[in-house]
């Protein structure tokens, strides 16, 4: 059974993909790291972002966190400015 998830994109991640949100289908029991791997395959430019953080349901997530169908997932790029 597949796990459809929606990923919100901000900053450079939005610029690189040309989208503010992406829907992808992951295998059941997928983890954050699995999702990132699939996104890197689909959008190779994302792999070049060194400090990309992932938030799941408003909390920063590690790569081994399991994902669920209704999770709110966001890619948070590094922020610069002064």
Given a cut of 90, whether residue 72 has pLDDT beyond it is yes
Residue 70: pLDDT band (50, 70, 90) is: confident
- Residue 55 CA neighbour count, 13 Å, CB half: 11
Dist CA 27 CA 34 (whole Å): 9
| Residue ranges per structural domain of the chain | 2-76
Distance from C-alpha of 78 to C-alpha of 8, rounded to nearest angstrom = 15
Query: Is the whole model's pTM more than 0.85, yes or no?
Result: yes
| Phi then psi dihedrals of residue 77, to 5 deg | -80, 165
> Pick from 63, 58, 1, 62: which is nearest to 26 by CA?
1
Q: What would the CATH number be for the domain defined by 2-76?
A: 3.10.20.30
Q: What is the pLDDT of residue 62?
A: 96
Summarize pLDDT for 9-55 with one digit per residue, the tens.
999 999 999 999 999 999 999 999 999 999 999 999 999 998 899 99
Give the model's pLDDT for residue 81: 57
């Amino acid at each position: 059974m597949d796990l459809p998830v929606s990923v919100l994109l901000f900053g450079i991640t939005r610029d690189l993909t040309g989208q503010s949100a992406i829907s992808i289908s992951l295998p059941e029991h997928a983890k954050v790291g699995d999702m990132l791997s699939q996104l890197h395959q689909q959008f190779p430019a994302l792999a070049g972002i060194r400090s990309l953080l992932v938030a799941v349901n408003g909390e920063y997530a590690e790569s081994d966190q399991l994902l669920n169908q209704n999770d709110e997932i966001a890619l948070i790029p590094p922020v610069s400015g002064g």
